[in-house]
Structure 1
Amino acid sequence: MYDLPSENPEDPGLPDEFHDFQPELLRRTFRPPAYWPDRCFSGSDLNIYYDLDHLNWYKRPDWFGVVDVDCFYGGDDLRQSYVRWQEGADPTVVVELLSPGTEPEDLGQTQRRRPQQPPTKWEVYEQILRVPYYVVFDRDSLTLQAFAHDGQRLRPLTLTEPRLWIPTLELGLGLWRGTYSTGRARVSGQWLRWYDAQGQWLPTDTEAAQQEAQLAQQEAQLAQQEVQLAQQEVQLAQERAMFAEERARLAEDQAARLAAKLRELNIDPDAL
Protein backbone atom coordinates (compact mmCIF):
# COMPACT_ATOMS: atom_id res chain seq x y z
CA MET A 1 0.00 0.00 0.00
CA TYR A 2 2.82 2.41 0.89
CA ASP A 3 4.81 1.70 -2.28
CA LEU A 4 1.97 1.86 -4.81
CA PRO A 5 0.69 5.30 -5.86
CA SER A 6 -2.60 6.49 -4.40
CA GLU A 7 -3.24 8.72 -7.42
CA ASN A 8 -3.78 8.31 -11.09
CA PRO A 9 -0.98 10.29 -12.77
CA GLU A 10 -3.46 11.42 -15.41
CA ASP A 11 -5.92 12.60 -12.77
CA PRO A 12 -3.92 13.60 -9.67
CA GLY A 13 -5.50 14.53 -6.39
CA LEU A 14 -7.94 11.66 -6.17
CA PRO A 15 -8.77 11.27 -2.49
CA ASP A 16 -7.46 8.56 -0.23
CA GLU A 17 -9.13 7.87 3.13
CA PHE A 18 -7.34 10.75 4.83
CA HIS A 19 -8.77 13.10 2.19
CA ASP A 20 -12.16 11.77 3.19
CA PHE A 21 -11.91 11.92 7.00
CA GLN A 22 -9.88 15.13 7.43
CA PRO A 23 -12.30 17.48 5.61
CA GLU A 24 -15.15 15.89 7.55
CA LEU A 25 -13.43 16.76 10.84
CA LEU A 26 -12.92 20.33 9.66
CA ARG A 27 -16.59 20.61 8.73
CA ARG A 28 -17.80 19.17 12.04
CA THR A 29 -15.72 21.63 14.09
CA PHE A 30 -16.19 24.75 11.93
CA ARG A 31 -18.37 26.94 14.13
CA PRO A 32 -17.41 30.65 13.96
CA PRO A 33 -18.98 32.22 17.07
CA ALA A 34 -19.87 35.49 15.32
CA TYR A 35 -22.18 33.75 12.83
CA TRP A 36 -25.28 31.65 13.21
CA PRO A 37 -24.78 28.02 12.15
CA ASP A 38 -27.26 28.45 9.31
CA ARG A 39 -25.08 31.29 7.97
CA CYS A 40 -21.93 29.20 7.60
CA PHE A 41 -21.04 26.76 4.86
CA SER A 42 -18.10 24.47 4.31
CA GLY A 43 -17.43 22.31 1.30
CA SER A 44 -15.01 19.50 0.57
CA ASP A 45 -14.08 18.21 -2.86
CA LEU A 46 -16.75 20.55 -4.25
CA ASN A 47 -16.31 22.53 -7.46
CA ILE A 48 -15.98 26.30 -7.07
CA TYR A 49 -17.04 28.03 -10.29
CA TYR A 50 -15.42 31.45 -10.34
CA ASP A 51 -15.65 32.92 -13.89
CA LEU A 52 -18.97 33.85 -15.46
CA ASP A 53 -17.25 34.17 -18.84
CA HIS A 54 -15.83 30.64 -18.64
CA LEU A 55 -18.52 28.43 -17.16
CA ASN A 56 -16.43 25.27 -17.39
CA TRP A 57 -13.57 26.66 -15.33
CA TYR A 58 -13.52 25.59 -11.70
CA LYS A 59 -11.25 24.65 -8.82
CA ARG A 60 -11.95 21.92 -6.28
CA PRO A 61 -10.32 22.59 -2.88
CA ASP A 62 -9.97 19.77 -0.40
CA TRP A 63 -11.90 21.97 2.03
CA PHE A 64 -13.12 25.56 2.18
CA GLY A 65 -15.21 27.61 4.59
CA VAL A 66 -17.54 30.52 3.85
CA VAL A 67 -19.41 32.75 6.28
CA ASP A 68 -22.45 34.96 5.88
CA VAL A 69 -24.06 32.64 3.33
CA ASP A 70 -26.92 30.19 3.72
CA CYS A 71 -25.86 26.81 5.01
CA PHE A 72 -28.10 25.29 2.32
CA TYR A 73 -28.45 26.61 -1.20
CA GLY A 74 -31.52 28.79 -1.36
CA GLY A 75 -32.13 27.96 2.28
CA ASP A 76 -33.20 24.34 1.80
CA ASP A 77 -31.22 22.57 -0.91
CA LEU A 78 -27.90 20.72 -0.90
CA ARG A 79 -25.24 22.25 -3.10
CA GLN A 80 -23.90 20.38 -6.11
CA SER A 81 -21.20 23.02 -6.52
CA TYR A 82 -20.35 26.50 -5.28
CA VAL A 83 -21.10 29.15 -7.93
CA ARG A 84 -19.35 32.31 -6.91
CA TRP A 85 -21.44 34.83 -8.86
CA GLN A 86 -24.67 33.36 -7.45
CA GLU A 87 -23.53 33.01 -3.85
CA GLY A 88 -22.20 36.54 -3.51
CA ALA A 89 -19.48 35.53 -1.05
CA ASP A 90 -15.99 34.13 -1.52
CA PRO A 91 -14.36 31.57 0.79
CA THR A 92 -12.78 32.98 3.92
CA VAL A 93 -10.36 30.08 4.27
CA VAL A 94 -9.21 27.32 1.94
CA VAL A 95 -7.37 24.17 3.04
CA GLU A 96 -5.42 21.92 0.71
CA LEU A 97 -4.08 18.53 1.82
CA LEU A 98 -0.83 17.88 0.02
CA SER A 99 -0.48 14.84 -2.16
CA PRO A 100 2.43 14.04 -4.50
CA GLY A 101 0.48 14.83 -7.64
CA THR A 102 -0.85 18.21 -6.52
CA GLU A 103 1.96 19.61 -4.35
CA PRO A 104 3.47 21.98 -6.96
CA GLU A 105 0.07 23.43 -7.81
CA ASP A 106 -1.01 23.68 -4.16
CA LEU A 107 2.14 25.67 -3.34
CA GLY A 108 2.02 27.93 -6.38
CA GLN A 109 5.02 26.33 -8.06
CA THR A 110 3.36 25.55 -11.38
CA GLN A 111 3.83 27.64 -14.49
CA ARG A 112 1.51 30.59 -14.89
CA ARG A 113 -1.36 30.14 -17.29
CA ARG A 114 -1.15 30.84 -20.97
CA PRO A 115 -3.77 32.89 -22.81
CA GLN A 116 -7.12 31.12 -23.11
CA GLN A 117 -6.06 28.53 -20.55
CA PRO A 118 -7.64 28.23 -17.10
CA PRO A 119 -5.64 29.95 -14.36
CA THR A 120 -3.67 27.86 -11.91
CA LYS A 121 -5.06 27.01 -8.51
CA TRP A 122 -2.76 29.56 -6.89
CA GLU A 123 -3.85 32.29 -9.32
CA VAL A 124 -7.51 31.58 -8.59
CA TYR A 125 -7.01 31.69 -4.83
CA GLU A 126 -4.75 34.74 -4.93
CA GLN A 127 -6.02 36.91 -7.78
CA ILE A 128 -9.65 35.91 -8.33
CA LEU A 129 -11.12 34.63 -5.08
CA ARG A 130 -8.58 36.62 -3.07
CA VAL A 131 -8.85 34.09 -0.27
CA PRO A 132 -8.00 35.81 3.04
CA TYR A 133 -6.39 32.67 4.49
CA TYR A 134 -4.94 29.71 2.63
CA VAL A 135 -3.64 26.68 4.54
CA VAL A 136 -1.63 23.74 3.21
CA PHE A 137 -1.10 20.62 5.30
CA ASP A 138 1.38 17.84 4.54
CA ARG A 139 0.25 14.77 6.42
CA ASP A 140 3.49 12.87 5.77
CA SER A 141 5.83 15.50 7.22
CA LEU A 142 3.19 16.99 9.56
CA THR A 143 4.01 20.39 8.09
CA LEU A 144 1.48 23.19 8.29
CA GLN A 145 1.94 26.16 5.97
CA ALA A 146 -0.29 29.22 6.07
CA PHE A 147 -0.70 32.21 3.78
CA ALA A 148 -2.63 35.45 4.31
CA HIS A 149 -3.84 37.83 1.61
CA ASP A 150 -2.48 41.34 2.07
CA GLY A 151 -4.68 42.92 -0.58
CA GLN A 152 -2.21 42.22 -3.37
CA ARG A 153 -1.04 38.66 -2.98
CA LEU A 154 -0.89 35.66 -0.70
CA ARG A 155 2.07 35.99 1.61
CA PRO A 156 3.47 33.20 3.81
CA LEU A 157 2.96 33.48 7.54
CA THR A 158 5.59 32.52 10.09
CA LEU A 159 4.10 30.03 12.50
CA THR A 160 5.96 29.52 15.78
CA GLU A 161 3.75 26.48 16.40
CA PRO A 162 1.43 24.50 14.14
CA ARG A 163 -1.49 26.82 14.85
CA LEU A 164 -3.11 29.69 12.95
CA TRP A 165 -5.52 32.18 14.51
CA ILE A 166 -8.04 33.76 12.12
CA PRO A 167 -9.44 36.94 13.72
CA THR A 168 -12.30 37.41 11.25
CA LEU A 169 -13.64 33.97 12.17
CA GLU A 170 -12.70 34.17 15.88
CA LEU A 171 -11.37 30.65 15.36
CA GLY A 172 -7.99 29.02 15.12
CA LEU A 173 -6.81 26.12 13.01
CA GLY A 174 -4.11 23.83 14.34
CA LEU A 175 -2.63 20.37 14.53
CA TRP A 176 -4.22 18.07 17.06
CA ARG A 177 -3.00 14.62 18.04
CA GLY A 178 -5.83 12.38 19.07
CA THR A 179 -8.42 9.82 18.11
CA TYR A 180 -11.11 10.97 15.72
CA SER A 181 -14.38 9.06 15.91
CA THR A 182 -15.73 8.75 12.39
CA GLY A 183 -19.00 7.17 11.46
CA ARG A 184 -17.20 3.89 10.86
CA ALA A 185 -14.31 3.69 13.28
CA ARG A 186 -11.95 5.49 15.65
CA VAL A 187 -8.77 6.66 13.91
CA SER A 188 -5.72 7.93 15.81
CA GLY A 189 -3.21 10.34 14.32
CA GLN A 190 -2.46 14.01 13.66
CA TRP A 191 -5.42 16.04 12.45
CA LEU A 192 -6.26 19.58 11.50
CA ARG A 193 -9.11 20.92 13.58
CA TRP A 194 -10.55 24.19 14.82
CA TYR A 195 -10.05 25.68 18.29
CA ASP A 196 -11.64 28.60 20.14
CA ALA A 197 -10.30 31.81 21.67
CA GLN A 198 -9.34 29.93 24.84
CA GLY A 199 -7.25 27.48 22.82
CA GLN A 200 -9.73 24.65 23.40
CA TRP A 201 -10.35 22.22 20.56
CA LEU A 202 -13.92 22.49 19.34
CA PRO A 203 -15.75 19.18 19.73
CA THR A 204 -17.60 17.40 16.97
CA ASP A 205 -21.29 16.71 17.44
CA THR A 206 -20.41 13.16 18.52
CA GLU A 207 -17.83 14.38 21.03
CA ALA A 208 -20.25 17.02 22.34
CA ALA A 209 -22.93 14.35 22.84
CA GLN A 210 -20.41 12.16 24.66
CA GLN A 211 -19.36 15.08 26.85
CA GLU A 212 -23.00 15.85 27.65
CA ALA A 213 -23.62 12.18 28.46
CA GLN A 214 -20.56 12.13 30.74
CA LEU A 215 -21.70 15.36 32.40
CA ALA A 216 -25.19 13.93 32.88
CA GLN A 217 -23.68 10.78 34.37
CA GLN A 218 -21.49 12.83 36.72
CA GLU A 219 -24.50 14.91 37.75
CA ALA A 220 -26.50 11.72 38.37
CA GLN A 221 -23.64 10.32 40.45
CA LEU A 222 -23.43 13.61 42.38
CA ALA A 223 -27.19 13.56 42.97
CA GLN A 224 -26.94 9.96 44.18
CA GLN A 225 -24.10 10.93 46.53
CA GLU A 226 -26.20 13.82 47.86
CA VAL A 227 -29.12 11.43 48.47
CA GLN A 228 -26.81 9.03 50.27
CA LEU A 229 -25.39 11.90 52.33
CA ALA A 230 -28.92 13.04 53.22
CA GLN A 231 -29.82 9.49 54.23
CA GLN A 232 -26.69 9.31 56.39
CA GLU A 233 -27.59 12.64 58.01
CA VAL A 234 -31.13 11.39 58.74
CA GLN A 235 -29.74 8.18 60.20
CA LEU A 236 -27.25 10.17 62.29
CA ALA A 237 -30.04 12.45 63.52
CA GLN A 238 -32.13 9.41 64.48
CA GLU A 239 -29.19 7.91 66.37
CA ARG A 240 -28.62 11.23 68.18
CA ALA A 241 -32.30 11.37 69.10
CA MET A 242 -32.20 7.80 70.43
CA PHE A 243 -29.03 8.64 72.40
CA ALA A 244 -30.68 11.74 73.86
CA GLU A 245 -33.76 9.73 74.83
CA GLU A 246 -31.57 7.13 76.52
CA ARG A 247 -29.67 9.83 78.44
CA ALA A 248 -32.96 11.39 79.53
CA ARG A 249 -34.26 8.01 80.71
CA LEU A 250 -31.06 7.36 82.65
CA ALA A 251 -31.22 10.80 84.20
CA GLU A 252 -34.81 10.20 85.28
CA ASP A 253 -33.89 6.83 86.80
CA GLN A 254 -30.96 8.39 88.64
CA ALA A 255 -33.16 11.19 89.96
CA ALA A 256 -35.77 8.68 91.14
CA ARG A 257 -33.17 6.61 93.00
CA LEU A 258 -31.75 9.74 94.63
CA ALA A 259 -35.20 10.86 95.75
CA ALA A 260 -35.90 7.42 97.23
CA LYS A 261 -32.60 7.50 99.09
CA LEU A 262 -33.39 10.94 100.52
CA ARG A 263 -36.77 9.74 101.72
CA GLU A 264 -35.08 6.83 103.48
CA LEU A 265 -33.10 9.49 105.36
CA ASN A 266 -36.34 11.33 106.21
CA ILE A 267 -35.47 14.13 103.81
CA ASP A 268 -38.16 15.47 101.53
CA PRO A 269 -36.54 15.80 98.08
CA ASP A 270 -39.25 18.23 97.01
CA ALA A 271 -38.20 20.61 99.74
CA LEU A 272 -34.62 20.80 98.58
Structure 2
Amino acid sequence: MTDPTTQLDIPRAFPDHTQLPESDGTFVKNFQEHPQSILLTDSLGSVLQRLHPDGQYCIGQDSGIYWRETDPPEKGAEAPDWFYVGDVPPQLDGRYRRSYVLWRELITPTIVLEFASGDGSQERDQTPFKGKFWVYERVMRVPYYGIYEIITGKLEVYHLVDVTYQKLTPNERGHYPILPMQVELGLWQGNYQNQEMLWLRWWDLSGNLLLIGNEQVVLERQRAEQEHQRAEQERQRAEAAERELAHLRSLLQHQDPA
Protein backbone atom coordinates (compact mmCIF):
# COMPACT_ATOMS: atom_id res chain seq x y z
CA MET A 1 0.00 0.00 0.00
CA THR A 2 1.33 3.43 -0.99
CA ASP A 3 2.16 5.76 1.87
CA PRO A 4 0.21 9.02 1.11
CA THR A 5 2.79 11.03 3.02
CA THR A 6 5.40 10.20 0.36
CA GLN A 7 3.28 11.16 -2.65
CA LEU A 8 3.99 14.37 -4.55
CA ASP A 9 1.20 16.63 -5.74
CA ILE A 10 2.33 16.88 -9.37
CA PRO A 11 0.41 19.43 -11.45
CA ARG A 12 -1.12 18.48 -14.78
CA ALA A 13 1.55 18.47 -17.46
CA PHE A 14 1.55 21.41 -19.86
CA PRO A 15 0.49 20.29 -23.38
CA ASP A 16 3.09 19.94 -26.11
CA HIS A 17 3.00 20.73 -29.84
CA THR A 18 1.15 17.49 -30.66
CA GLN A 19 -1.71 18.35 -28.31
CA LEU A 20 -2.31 21.93 -29.49
CA PRO A 21 -4.04 23.16 -32.68
CA GLU A 22 -1.71 23.97 -35.56
CA SER A 23 -4.18 26.33 -37.26
CA ASP A 24 -7.04 28.64 -36.33
CA GLY A 25 -8.72 28.07 -39.68
CA THR A 26 -8.30 31.62 -41.02
CA PHE A 27 -7.25 32.55 -44.55
CA VAL A 28 -3.88 33.96 -45.49
CA LYS A 29 -4.55 37.68 -45.88
CA ASN A 30 -2.78 38.35 -49.19
CA PHE A 31 -0.98 36.69 -52.07
CA GLN A 32 2.39 38.16 -51.07
CA GLU A 33 2.75 36.49 -47.66
CA HIS A 34 3.90 33.04 -48.73
CA PRO A 35 6.30 34.21 -51.50
CA GLN A 36 7.72 36.76 -49.05
CA SER A 37 8.34 34.07 -46.43
CA ILE A 38 9.97 31.76 -48.98
CA LEU A 39 12.20 34.58 -50.22
CA LEU A 40 13.44 35.31 -46.69
CA THR A 41 14.08 31.66 -45.87
CA ASP A 42 15.71 30.71 -49.17
CA SER A 43 18.34 33.44 -49.01
CA LEU A 44 19.42 32.56 -45.46
CA GLY A 45 20.82 29.13 -46.28
CA SER A 46 24.54 29.96 -46.14
CA VAL A 47 24.09 32.13 -43.03
CA LEU A 48 22.28 29.39 -41.14
CA GLN A 49 24.87 26.80 -42.15
CA ARG A 50 27.53 29.02 -40.65
CA LEU A 51 25.56 29.83 -37.49
CA HIS A 52 24.29 26.30 -36.96
CA PRO A 53 26.59 23.71 -38.52
CA ASP A 54 24.76 21.14 -36.37
CA GLY A 55 21.43 22.08 -37.99
CA GLN A 56 19.85 23.04 -34.68
CA TYR A 57 17.43 25.82 -35.62
CA CYS A 58 13.92 26.24 -36.96
CA ILE A 59 12.03 28.76 -39.04
CA GLY A 60 8.29 29.27 -38.75
CA GLN A 61 5.98 30.68 -41.41
CA ASP A 62 2.42 31.37 -40.24
CA SER A 63 3.14 28.89 -37.46
CA GLY A 64 1.74 29.26 -33.98
CA ILE A 65 3.90 30.25 -31.02
CA TYR A 66 2.06 29.22 -27.85
CA TRP A 67 2.77 31.48 -24.90
CA ARG A 68 -0.05 30.66 -22.46
CA GLU A 69 -2.79 28.08 -21.90
CA THR A 70 -6.27 29.26 -22.82
CA ASP A 71 -9.65 27.88 -23.79
CA PRO A 72 -9.81 27.56 -26.73
CA PRO A 73 -6.07 26.80 -26.97
CA GLU A 74 -5.39 28.86 -30.11
CA LYS A 75 -6.27 32.04 -28.21
CA GLY A 76 -3.02 31.56 -26.34
CA ALA A 77 -0.88 31.66 -29.48
CA GLU A 78 0.48 34.19 -31.94
CA ALA A 79 1.31 33.14 -35.49
CA PRO A 80 3.98 35.48 -36.93
CA ASP A 81 4.22 35.56 -40.69
CA TRP A 82 7.89 34.60 -40.30
CA PHE A 83 10.19 33.87 -37.35
CA TYR A 84 13.57 32.33 -36.63
CA VAL A 85 14.76 30.62 -33.47
CA GLY A 86 18.22 29.16 -33.02
CA ASP A 87 19.61 26.32 -30.92
CA VAL A 88 16.48 24.18 -31.04
CA PRO A 89 15.96 20.94 -32.99
CA PRO A 90 14.16 21.20 -36.33
CA GLN A 91 12.01 18.23 -35.30
CA LEU A 92 10.75 16.94 -31.96
CA ASP A 93 10.91 13.23 -31.17
CA GLY A 94 11.40 12.52 -34.85
CA ARG A 95 8.16 14.26 -35.81
CA TYR A 96 7.63 17.49 -37.72
CA ARG A 97 6.71 20.51 -35.64
CA ARG A 98 3.04 21.44 -35.49
CA SER A 99 3.70 24.61 -33.49
CA TYR A 100 6.29 26.23 -31.23
CA VAL A 101 5.44 25.90 -27.54
CA LEU A 102 7.37 28.34 -25.34
CA TRP A 103 6.76 26.50 -22.07
CA ARG A 104 8.34 23.41 -23.62
CA GLU A 105 11.18 25.04 -25.57
CA LEU A 106 12.12 27.88 -23.18
CA ILE A 107 14.08 29.59 -26.01
CA THR A 108 12.44 32.62 -27.54
CA PRO A 109 12.73 33.43 -31.27
CA THR A 110 15.49 35.86 -32.23
CA ILE A 111 13.22 37.74 -34.62
CA VAL A 112 9.56 37.77 -35.62
CA LEU A 113 8.25 39.49 -38.75
CA GLU A 114 4.69 40.52 -39.53
CA PHE A 115 3.56 41.38 -43.06
CA ALA A 116 0.72 43.84 -42.47
CA SER A 117 -2.06 43.79 -45.06
CA GLY A 118 -3.68 46.87 -43.53
CA ASP A 119 -2.29 49.91 -41.76
CA GLY A 120 -0.30 47.90 -39.21
CA SER A 121 -2.59 48.73 -36.28
CA GLN A 122 -3.02 45.06 -35.36
CA GLU A 123 0.73 44.53 -35.46
CA ARG A 124 1.29 47.59 -33.22
CA ASP A 125 -1.47 46.70 -30.77
CA GLN A 126 -0.13 47.02 -27.21
CA THR A 127 -3.30 45.88 -25.41
CA PRO A 128 -2.18 43.67 -22.48
CA PHE A 129 -2.68 39.95 -23.12
CA LYS A 130 -4.23 40.62 -26.54
CA GLY A 131 -2.08 42.82 -28.74
CA LYS A 132 0.70 41.32 -30.86
CA PHE A 133 3.17 44.06 -29.95
CA TRP A 134 2.49 43.58 -26.22
CA VAL A 135 2.85 39.80 -26.41
CA TYR A 136 6.12 39.90 -28.36
CA GLU A 137 7.56 42.62 -26.12
CA ARG A 138 6.30 41.75 -22.65
CA VAL A 139 5.79 37.98 -22.65
CA MET A 140 7.86 36.37 -25.39
CA ARG A 141 10.52 39.08 -25.14
CA VAL A 142 11.60 38.61 -28.75
CA PRO A 143 14.82 40.61 -29.33
CA TYR A 144 13.82 41.90 -32.79
CA TYR A 145 10.34 42.61 -34.12
CA GLY A 146 9.73 43.78 -37.68
CA ILE A 147 6.50 45.18 -39.14
CA TYR A 148 6.28 45.49 -42.92
CA GLU A 149 3.25 47.28 -44.38
CA ILE A 150 2.88 45.69 -47.80
CA ILE A 151 0.59 48.38 -49.25
CA THR A 152 2.76 51.36 -48.30
CA GLY A 153 6.16 49.65 -48.44
CA LYS A 154 6.94 50.86 -44.92
CA LEU A 155 9.25 48.83 -42.70
CA GLU A 156 9.72 49.29 -38.96
CA VAL A 157 12.10 47.25 -36.83
CA TYR A 158 12.09 47.24 -33.03
CA HIS A 159 14.84 46.04 -30.71
CA LEU A 160 14.21 44.93 -27.14
CA VAL A 161 16.23 47.12 -24.78
CA ASP A 162 15.86 46.23 -21.10
CA VAL A 163 12.09 45.62 -20.93
CA THR A 164 10.70 47.68 -23.83
CA TYR A 165 10.95 47.85 -27.59
CA GLN A 166 12.98 50.69 -29.05
CA LYS A 167 12.36 51.63 -32.68
CA LEU A 168 15.57 51.29 -34.67
CA THR A 169 16.97 53.83 -37.11
CA PRO A 170 18.18 52.32 -40.41
CA ASN A 171 21.87 52.52 -41.25
CA GLU A 172 23.39 54.41 -44.18
CA ARG A 173 22.20 51.68 -46.56
CA GLY A 174 18.65 51.91 -45.28
CA HIS A 175 19.01 48.51 -43.60
CA TYR A 176 18.49 47.26 -40.05
CA PRO A 177 21.36 45.18 -38.63
CA ILE A 178 20.21 42.01 -36.87
CA LEU A 179 23.49 41.34 -35.11
CA PRO A 180 22.79 37.87 -33.61
CA MET A 181 22.21 36.63 -37.15
CA GLN A 182 25.07 38.68 -38.67
CA VAL A 183 22.74 40.08 -41.33
CA GLU A 184 20.86 43.24 -42.25
CA LEU A 185 17.16 43.46 -43.06
CA GLY A 186 15.89 45.86 -45.67
CA LEU A 187 13.70 46.44 -48.72
CA TRP A 188 14.49 45.38 -52.30
CA GLN A 189 12.56 46.38 -55.42
CA GLY A 190 12.30 43.54 -57.89
CA ASN A 191 10.32 40.70 -59.45
CA TYR A 192 9.87 37.49 -57.52
CA GLN A 193 7.45 34.71 -58.42
CA ASN A 194 5.90 36.92 -61.09
CA GLN A 195 5.20 39.79 -58.69
CA GLU A 196 6.95 43.14 -59.03
CA MET A 197 7.03 44.91 -55.66
CA LEU A 198 9.11 45.88 -52.67
CA TRP A 199 10.27 42.74 -50.90
CA LEU A 200 11.95 42.17 -47.56
CA ARG A 201 15.49 40.87 -48.17
CA TRP A 202 18.63 40.06 -46.22
CA TRP A 203 22.10 41.53 -46.77
CA ASP A 204 25.34 40.66 -45.03
CA LEU A 205 26.91 43.21 -42.70
CA SER A 206 29.02 44.54 -45.59
CA GLY A 207 25.92 45.37 -47.61
CA ASN A 208 26.01 42.43 -50.04
CA LEU A 209 22.60 41.06 -50.98
CA LEU A 210 22.07 37.46 -49.89
CA LEU A 211 20.97 35.58 -52.99
CA ILE A 212 18.27 32.98 -53.39
CA GLY A 213 18.84 29.76 -55.31
CA ASN A 214 18.01 30.88 -58.85
CA GLU A 215 19.91 34.16 -58.38
CA GLN A 216 22.95 32.15 -57.30
CA VAL A 217 22.60 29.99 -60.42
CA VAL A 218 22.47 33.08 -62.64
CA LEU A 219 25.49 34.56 -60.86
CA GLU A 220 27.49 31.35 -61.27
CA ARG A 221 26.50 31.23 -64.96
CA GLN A 222 27.68 34.82 -65.41
CA ARG A 223 30.95 34.04 -63.63
CA ALA A 224 31.47 30.97 -65.81
CA GLU A 225 30.77 33.02 -68.93
CA GLN A 226 33.18 35.73 -67.79
CA GLU A 227 35.83 33.09 -67.09
CA HIS A 228 35.23 31.56 -70.51
CA GLN A 229 35.57 34.99 -72.16
CA ARG A 230 38.75 35.68 -70.18
CA ALA A 231 40.23 32.32 -71.20
CA GLU A 232 39.27 32.94 -74.84
CA GLN A 233 40.91 36.36 -74.75
CA GLU A 234 44.06 34.84 -73.25
CA ARG A 235 44.07 32.17 -75.97
CA GLN A 236 43.69 34.78 -78.70
CA ARG A 237 46.49 36.90 -77.22
CA ALA A 238 48.72 33.83 -77.02
CA GLU A 239 47.99 32.92 -80.65
CA ALA A 240 48.65 36.51 -81.76
CA ALA A 241 51.95 36.53 -79.86
CA GLU A 242 52.92 33.20 -81.43
CA ARG A 243 52.10 34.52 -84.91
CA GLU A 244 54.18 37.63 -84.25
CA LEU A 245 57.08 35.51 -83.04
CA ALA A 246 56.82 33.26 -86.10
CA HIS A 247 56.83 36.33 -88.34
CA LEU A 248 59.98 37.68 -86.68
CA ARG A 249 61.70 34.31 -87.09
CA SER A 250 60.78 34.28 -90.76
CA LEU A 251 62.24 37.76 -91.24
CA LEU A 252 65.48 36.77 -89.52
CA GLN A 253 65.82 33.63 -91.63
CA HIS A 254 65.49 35.63 -94.87
CA GLN A 255 67.89 38.42 -93.94
CA ASP A 256 71.00 38.76 -96.13
CA PRO A 257 74.04 37.60 -94.04
CA ALA A 258 76.24 40.07 -95.84
TM-score (norm 2): 0.77
1:241 counterpart SS class? helix
The whole-number CA distance in structure 1 between the counterparts of 2:93 and 2:175 is 33
Q: Does structure 2 conserve the Cα–Cα contact (< 8 Å) formed by 1:194 and 1:202?
A: yes
2:112 maps to a residue whose letter is: V
Q: Does structure 1 conserve the Cα–Cα contact (< 8 Å) formed by 2:33 and 2:81?
A: yes
| Distance 1:28-1:171 versus aligned 2 partners, 3 A rule | same
Could you give the per-residue CA deviations for residues 56-97 of structure 1, whole angstroms, max 9, x where no partner exists?
Answer: 421110111122233x31497543322334444211011111
2:113 paired residue number: 95
The whole-number CA distance in structure 1 between the counterparts of 2:200 and 2:219 is 21
Write out aligned runs for 1:155-170 (5 A): 155-159=166-170, 162-170=174-182
Structure 2, unaligned stretches of length 5 or more? 1-24
1:175 paired residue number: 187
Q: Does 1:24 align with 2:41?
A: no
**Higher Rg of the two aligned structures:** 1
Q: Does structure 2 conserve the Cα–Cα contact (< 8 Å) formed by 1:35 and 1:68?
A: no
Q: Does 1:81 align with 2:99?
A: yes
1:116 paired residue number: none
The offset of 1:148, in angstroms, is: 1.2
Q: 2:52 aligns with which of 22, 29, 36?
A: 36
2:124 paired residue number: 107
Write out aligned runs for 1:110-189 (5 A): 111-113=127-129, 119-159=130-170, 162-180=174-192, 182=193, 186-189=194-197
Q: Does structure 2 conserve the Cα–Cα contact (< 8 Å) formed by 1:33 and 1:170?
A: no
1:128 counterpart SS class? helix
Could you give the per-residue CA deviations for residues 214-254 of structure 1, whole angstroms, max 9, x where no partner exists?
Answer: 1111111211221222222222221111111111xxx14xx
1:122 counterpart SS class? helix
1:194 paired residue number: 202
2:198 counterpart SS class? strand
The offset of 1:120, in angstroms, is: 3.2
The whole-number CA distance in structure 2 between the counterparts of 1:107 and 1:226 is 60
1:16 counterpart SS class? coil
| Distance 1:231-1:51 versus aligned 2 partners, 3 A rule | same
1:29 maps to a residue whose letter is: S
The whole-number CA distance in structure 2 between the counterparts of 1:13 and 1:160 is 35
The offset of 1:155, in angstroms, is: 2.7
TM-score (norm 1): 0.74
The whole-number CA distance in structure 2 between the counterparts of 1:175 and 1:76 is 37
The whole-number CA distance in structure 1 between the counterparts of 2:225 and 2:57 is 33
1:43 maps to a residue whose letter is: G
Higher mean C-alpha displacement, 17-26 vs 75-84: 75-84
1:21 maps to a residue whose letter is: P
The whole-number CA distance in structure 2 between the counterparts of 1:222 and 1:160 is 37
Q: Does 1:221 align with 2:238?
A: no
The whole-number CA distance in structure 1 between the counterparts of 2:43 and 2:246 is 54
Q: 2:77 aligns with which of 58, 68, 71?
A: 58
1:235 counterpart SS class? helix
| Distance 1:172-1:13 versus aligned 2 partners, 3 A rule | farther
Structure 1, unaligned stretches of length 5 or more? 1-10, 114-118, 256-272
1:6 paired residue number: none
Give the superposed CA RMSD: 2.7
1:270 paired residue number: none
Q: Does 1:209 align with 2:217?
A: yes
Q: Does 1:238 align with 2:246?
A: yes
| Distance 1:44-1:59 versus aligned 2 partners, 3 A rule | same
The whole-number CA distance in structure 2 between the counterparts of 1:206 and 1:151 is 41
Q: 1:49 aligns with which of 54, 66, 88?
A: 66
The whole-number CA distance in structure 2 between the counterparts of 1:40 and 1:131 is 16
1:210 counterpart SS class? helix
